[in-house]
Structure 1
Amino acid sequence: MTQDTTAAATPPEQQPTPFHDLDAYVALPRVSGLALSRDGSRLVTTVQTLDPERTAYRTALWEVDPTGEAPARRLTRSAKGESSACFAANGDLLFISARPDPDAGSDDKDPKAALWLLPASGGEARVVATAPGGLGGVLAARDADVVSVSAPVLPSAEDLEQDRELRTARTDAKVSAILHTGYPVRHWDHDLGPDEDRRFVASLAGLVDEPARPLPPADGSDGDASDDGETPASHLDLRQVTGAGRQLFEHAATLSPDGGTLVTTWVVADPGAAQRETLVAVDTATGERRTLVDDPDAEVTGPAVSPDGRWVAYVTMTITTPEQAPVVRLGLVALSGEGEPEVLADDWDRWPTSVAWLPDGSGLVVTADEDGRGPVFLLTFGAGGPGAGESVTVERLTADDATFTDVRVAPDGSALYALRTSYAAPSEPVRIDLGAFLASGAPGEREPVTAVVLRGPVPSPELPGTLTEVETTTEDGVRVRAWLALPDGASADRPAPLLLWIHGGPLNSWNAWSWRWNPWLMVARGYAVLLPDPALSTGYGQDFVQRGWGAWGQAPYTDLLAITDAAEDLPEIDATRTAAMGGSFGGYMANWVAGHTDRFRAIVTHASLWALDQFGPTTDHAYYWAREMTPEMAEANSPHRFVENIRTPMLVVHGDKDYRVPIGEGLRLWNELLTKSGLPADDDGSTVHRFLYFPDENHWVLSPQHAKVWYQVVLAFLAEHVLGEKPELPTTLG
């Protein structure tokens, strides 16, 4: 039986939420990103909504009142959407969009992502910079009119004009071939090359508030250019400050407050077709580059320049070995390049995820995973300030059971603005009273504060259940905890079936709302969903990560079973009806679980690692895997070795555009389930296993129509094997 339905298997009176209807769920607006103006008076975020065809999402910029008094108001609207909001020093709002430029004429049939400017004084947004391959990565200096953007440029092009000519020739000849001279050649879901990012800078000072005039034509004629041949004042004069090469691959960059220096991560080659991120400073006037941090044993990301322009704080992660997990710490280096980099708070047993400066330079605002949350912390320097070599103090600043991202510091130091999220609510803009925290006592003696929710553009959806926590102690004496999402009405009289959902990573934590891996859709169907953080999870200290390093099938597996036992002991849980699922590393663990226990009625494995000897050389960044496990470790921890033990029905899900876990893993898993497992296909080819294949999706399955199919098939598979119901599949599968 097939029908196109998303109705829940619960009574109608329990269906008030959008999680009971997949069409309503995929249409929920989603908030991301945050930008704060230099004077602290304006706050802008991005809202993603479903397009009219319901096959893609589009984005728009919204302004949020930092005081929390006025309602949010929409700033932009277009079919192509807008993103990467950034305030210039004078208050103008910069953003990236591929929407058509009304001043470009009818020949611009395929506009690329361009830099747009929405004046602080009001009026319409207009294009201020373009590039043949599009623009991105917009940065603006805090105290100067300097702006920087990135643009992909073909290797042999000297400038953007030559890049345009080469692209036209390549398109006209219908050539798509790429000649590689290095590694990697793919990343997540796309091929790398032939173009590579370069950085450009420009001054906003010469822009005029008038309709944009067209740039000079590519054929070299005068066209409508001004008499002196210079770029019209309505467009920025982009000056290239980095050259050809893949040094800016996936780079993280920032501008110094005076706009004189671009600080960016810089990729260098390492032996064994590996690469490593260093940190460099680029003079925005001359393009001269100097190295700030180049540690052969570590990588660098997330730079932030101090308000006085003297220091750069950053996050550093050691290069792993098969025996040693990474160590993540804060670093500090002089922007001048003088002296040696310094590790900050080396005894703080947490991994920082982002860093920002206090306005007076006396401390750093840091985020880090902790115990299934992601609080904001305050690092305070000693009396000598940064670089004095004195000990620092780290305090938890926020009290919320939540994770904070996109933290922005008010220019007067009175507040922080951030997006707050948890498994109780998706991202929403909040204000954190930094002034009250600082005034409450001396460093190390202050109590965390609770964030105040601002009047954001999107209300949080009502949930079909409640969120609680479960924890246990393993046989080796280690505490393991999890979030548990319980459906409304679950009780000892009406216990809920249990779904163990294993996170990916593996260096990760179930501490933030996910639109892709959302437990509330399962809760709406009556399942209790267990979201555990086993060994290798972040937020529990270095030793907790090290417990599972190089031995995925050991502590991570036993931790998962231990926390599942603890959940099943609860009266609200029906221990006779359980299932397990996971994606990526979570899919690996689902495969490992399938080969080592029959306790679950069904297992769903998405984008999963199956044969580790095959996975290692074919993943998009094979050198990472070489640092993770020796061949012997990979053999010992490979799920495919235990296929004969699998006696649980499995749903395999894989996208063909997944380059992180290539499709070969899913294909081999599917073949070996049918030919070698303890539940092989019958002689007529029938099987209890299923394979959901997406020819044009990647590691996550992102398009709304396919996300809907994903949940429909998963829910049908679980209903059949866990609930004993007849599966209801969507008609869109034919």
Structure 2
Amino acid sequence: MNLGSRAMGAVAALFCATWTVPAAVAQQADSSGPRPALEDLFTVVSLGSLELSPDGERLLYTVRSADLEKNQTDTEIWLLTLPQRGAPRNVRLTRNPKNDTQPRWHPSGDRFAFLSVRESGSNREERPALYLMSPTGGEPEKLYEHPTGIRSFDWSPDGKWIGFTANDDETEEQKKRREQGRDVRLEDDPGRYTHLWLLDVEARKARRITSGTEFNVQSFAWSPDGKVIAFSATPTPRITDSWKSDLFLIDPFDSTATPRRLTDNPGPDASPVFSPDGEFIYYQGYQSDRYRVGYDRVFRIPKAGGKPEDVSPNMDVDPSPYVFTPDGKAVFFEATTGTTRGIFYMPLDTRRPVRLTGDRGVWSQASFSRDRRRVAFVHESPVKPQEIHAAVLDQRPGEGVLKNVGPLTRHNAHAEKWAVGLTDVIRWKSADGKEIEGILVYPAGWTPARGPAPLVVKIHGGPAGVYLQNFQASSTGSDAQRYAADGYAVFLPNPRGSTGYGDATVRAVIDDWGGMDFKDIMIGVDTLIARRVVHPDSLGVMGWSYGGYMTAWTISQTNRFKAAVVGAGITETISMWGTHDILHVFEGYFSGSPWDEGRWEEYQASSPLAHIRGARTPTLIIHGVNDQRVPPNQAQILYRTLKALGVPTELVWLPRTGHGPNEPGLQYETARRQKEWMDRWIRKKGAKPTAN
């Protein structure tokens, strides 16, 4: 059983800032180790999809790697044996040039199923199909291939059936129109619906469980006795309806059955999980008639129907779906708190969580044996890349029991030497006295005697993203150690709006984009300057998505920065409202559309373009040509505006790219250009004339 996850003005002159570095948080680094180059980041693999066997003695997991030369990524399935006696051993099970994902043990533990995209030998599009494999090895066996591909699946408790979700196929009329080149699309057309299917494993035949256009299936769960399936569904597949889900029940074996609606909440009811006795369904959501910025709550509702009951932790966190103990009296979940993510145990009678992991690093993707006495998880920290850990749990595990568990794999052992810069969690008081937190990566070998260093401020997306204590040499998005190796300090602030600091903090930026969040960041920068860690004349700022917005906002408010990189950034809020795909989220942050009473002025007040006339910071803009989340016009209007104002600027278009680059080659180019822009304008390295 796996835990689902569901990442400047002179302000300091006006407000006194304090800076605290807790001694227990400082992450020591070996400054004598090799310095990570950009190419090195592509040798770090990502571990995921942990699936502990029912007896807890074997673990399936995926390893995702990148080949920079071939411009490809590959995900393969590995097996880690966890014997009661003897040393653990891991072995690679699949060797497919395409991706093998979502491994799921058969309830007996003698085999597993997974999704795989494999060469078809034909011209038709390759789609994820179900495969079976023995943990002892051998060739995978194709179990079932659906015409539109399989999105997700799960075994029935008796192992005779597999429930899965798949998109509806084109109708004959739609196929004909596409072949004739007449396949026009209407705005707000819902597209293809997703529905539930049931596969007879022995017969290898599948039939529909749900159909039609009344709802669009999201996630589902089998009841413990295998007689019914609970699922969440939205009214349509439109992304703007994604927050309007409800819960349904259906008998998968009755071909005449129709789904029975359990909830009728205008807001989301999602991620259903049955209690061990099958009498209750637990789920995530909130009670609201409009999209709500903030944390979800956890509810339970009787399987027979009734009134939902709030059973959220007595702690201000946004928990992952619950994993129950066998007796149903307690649960496990994951949650982000500050700059860490941890695993918690919680008795349901008190709902007071006990943190099983420490307060340094990131613990995630926990998976449990059937009796919940064994757990496996991924851990990383600023000085340790991702590896898999496992431990035996007491029936009522105590606080911190997992914090000193050692790694069982060495997938990224070669990268440990790259953490050359000391990492600290820092805290400071913002303009209104609120304590704000962030992460600082020092230059390699830095001491106060070396004096202030150049600084790059990296602002996270969201706004409800967060910087965690992860390994900052693991990808082009987590590459602070690459800058530290070249003498930069890197500041990763978590201003208000970030997750991990309570529901009120996430909601604090509603109707205030570019307000207190900007002051939070700037006072953090000024604190570092006051402590003589960084030089006030050698500052750079960058970010992606909302971080790109905050970077564009920053250059519209101050010229203190020598260089800026705006990645997929929002630059003009009203045109953003009118062109992007998640309209409901934007209106949640701005309390309505620009056409609602008083909202036009609010949108304008938070628009970088409305304040850009005084900008002077050399700015690199990077954007995907197919970005629907932040449409490309946001990049183009900033580029043309800066050129008109005589500001040095370049606009880099990423082909075949949506809201962020997925291809290794484009990730490389993005990261290379980001740092070269900082070097050019902060250090005058490799400078060349910029046409204006």
The TM-score range, normalised by the shorter chain, is: 0.7 to 0.9
**SS at 1:509's partner residue?**
coil
Distance 1:546 1:35, change over 3 A: same
1:361 aligned onto 2:328: yes
Distance 1:618 1:168, change over 3 A: closer
Distance 1:576 1:271, change over 3 A: closer
Which residue does 2:502 correspond to in 1?
541
**SS at 2:394's partner residue?**
helix
Contact 1:43 / 1:65 at 8 angstroms: preserved in 2? yes
Which residue does 2:40 correspond to in 1?
24
CA distance in 2, matches of 1:710, 1:271: 30
Match among 128, 134, 141 for residue 126 of structure 1: 141
CA distance in 2, matches of 1:573, 1:639: 26
Which residue does 1:372 correspond to in 2?
339
- Residue 248 of structure 2 aligns with an amino acid whose one-letter code is V
Contact 2:457 / 2:490 at 8 angstroms: preserved in 1? yes
CA distance in 2, matches of 1:533, 1:705: 29
Superposed, 1:66-105 pairs within 5 Å as: 66-67=82-83, 69-91=87-109, 92-100=111-119
Which residue does 2:513 correspond to in 1?
552
- Give the TM-score of the pair, scaled to structure 2: 0.86
CA distance in 1, matches of 2:239, 2:387: 43
Distance 1:695 1:612, change over 3 A: same
Aligned length: 638
Match among 257, 275, 279 for residue 247 of structure 2: 279
RCO comparison, higher one (Cα < 8 Å, 6+): 2
Which residue does 1:450 correspond to in 2?
403
1:618 aligned onto 2:637: no
Q: Show CA shifts across 1:610-668 (max 9, x none).
A: 11000012111223222321422222111110110211111111011111001011111
**SS at 1:23's partner residue?**
helix
**SS at 2:633's partner residue?**
helix
1:481 aligned onto 2:437: yes
Q: How far did 1:692 drift?
A: 1.3
CA distance in 2, matches of 1:646, 1:141: 60
**SS at 1:721's partner residue?**
helix
Superposed, 1:664-679 pairs within 5 Å as: 664-675=633-644, 677=645, 679=646
**SS at 1:487's partner residue?**
coil
Distance 1:147 1:454, change over 3 A: farther
- Residue 627 of structure 1 aligns with an amino acid whose one-letter code is G
Which residue does 2:25 correspond to in 1?
none
Q: How far did 1:557 drift?
A: 0.6
Distance 1:408 1:294, change over 3 A: farther
- Give the TM-score of the pair, scaled to structure 1: 0.81
Q: Which runs of 5+ in 2 are unaligned?
A: 1-29
Which residue does 1:386 correspond to in 2?
none
Q: How far did 1:546 drift?
A: 2.9
- Residue 588 of structure 1 aligns with an amino acid whose one-letter code is Y
Q: Show CA shifts across 1:74-112 (max 9, x none).
A: 0000111311111111221111112136xxxx6576543
Point out the more displaced range, 370-379 or 300-309: 300-309
Which residue does 1:579 correspond to in 2?
540
Contact 2:295 / 2:317 at 8 angstroms: preserved in 1? no
Q: How far did 1:21 drift?
A: 2.2
1:401 aligned onto 2:385: no
Point out the more displaced range, 257-266 or 600-609: 257-266
Contact 1:78 / 1:99 at 8 angstroms: preserved in 2? yes
- Residue 477 of structure 1 aligns with an amino acid whose one-letter code is G
Contact 1:95 / 1:115 at 8 angstroms: preserved in 2? yes
Match among 74, 93, 98 for residue 58 of structure 1: 74
Q: How far did 1:180 drift?
A: 4.5
Which residue does 2:56 correspond to in 1?
40
Distance 1:412 1:327, change over 3 A: closer
1:705 aligned onto 2:661: no
RMSD over aligned Cα atoms: 2.9
CA distance in 2, matches of 1:625, 1:295: 21
Q: How far did 1:365 drift?
A: 0.9
Contact 1:113 / 1:135 at 8 angstroms: preserved in 2? yes
Which residue does 2:674 correspond to in 1?
714
1:300 aligned onto 2:269: yes
Which residue does 1:601 correspond to in 2?
562
Q: Show CA shifts across 1:653-686 (max 9, x none).
A: 10111110010111111111111x4x44xxxxxx
Which residue does 1:388 correspond to in 2?
none
CA distance in 1, matches of 2:68, 2:622: 28
Contact 2:425 / 2:438 at 8 angstroms: preserved in 1? yes
Superposed, 1:186-265 pairs within 5 Å as: 193=191, 195-204=192-201, 206=202, 233=203, 236-245=204-213, 247-248=215-216, 251-265=218-232
**SS at 2:346's partner residue?**
strand
Which residue does 1:443 correspond to in 2?
none
**SS at 2:235's partner residue?**
strand
Superposed, 1:345-356 pairs within 5 Å as: 345=312, 347-356=314-323
Q: How far did 1:62 drift?
A: 0.5
Contact 2:67 / 2:664 at 8 angstroms: preserved in 1? no
CA distance in 1, matches of 2:207, 2:263: 25
Q: How far did 1:399 drift?
A: 1.5
Q: Give me the identity figure in percent.
A: 23
Contact 1:152 / 1:198 at 8 angstroms: preserved in 2? yes
CA distance in 1, matches of 2:31, 2:340: 29
Distance 1:166 1:408, change over 3 A: farther
Q: How far did 1:527 drift?
A: 1.3
Q: How far did 1:569 drift?
A: 3.0
